[in-house]
Amino acid sequence: MAPTPEVISEKEEMRKWSRSMRAQGKRIGLVPTMGFLHAGHLSLVAQARAHSDVVVVSIYVNPVQFGPTEDLATYPSDFDGDLRKLTALPGSVDVVFHPPNLYDYGGGHESWVRVEKLELGLCGKSRPLFFRGVATVVMKLFHIVEPDVALFGKKDYQQWRIIQRMVRDLDFSIKVIGAEIIRDNDGLAMSSRNVHLSPEEREKALSINKSLLKAKSAAKDGQVHCEKLQNLAIKCITDAGGRIDYAEIVTQNNLEKVEQIKGPVVFCVAAWFGKVRLVDNMEINL
């Protein structure tokens, strides 16, 4: 078992640690999380270790990416359990950055980061302030931790592309790596929110991955009209009792809607089962 990671809660202490590592010529990997870690998060840690000499995992539930009617108060948390999981990994995590509040300046927070075009569609339609909060907190983490490499899961595909674009446009010297979706044995994409699904809702939620697999298979068989593929997925999910937020096929890099598949695309879905909103996607490369 690896040693328990050092826990740092203060921004300046975190920055000082990172700069001491860099002074020793070490590459720093960062895995930003909101805690309640599962196998998907742990796979990101393993990949960060492969690209870095030292690894930082941030655990911070970012309040500004939740809307007034969203699930901040019920977002699951188990910090002690997270530390145990990180300690049990074969490759050690060097630091867990666990700040109490990244927005407490005594006079409010007025500065925001926007990646204006990429944040408009998909999740941005129903959560208009979400990606403003995501981009802002990730930039803050980048400034504090000063990593060389950052790992993000492709389950949150739009988020990953937004961070990539922000890093490119604002000239951060950080390599942003997107890691493949980790699924449970039944095919459900791993998410901290899955804990809120009842057994019946979880069974119904399997329709999301099934619908994406059907659409991908149909596309490979020659069905390249996106509306038909989207309707196929929507029917599969709604027949199972899900409530669709969106089901859209977009280009992989720019997240632009397409009518026919002529190049690399990603089929992105968000759907409600009970009170839980789940997102999933599948890249299609014909």
Q: Which of 38, 41, 143, 196 is catalytic?
A: 41
Query: CB of 96 within 8 A of CB of 80?
Result: no
Residue 143 a catalytic site member? no
Q: Which residues are catalytic?
A: 41
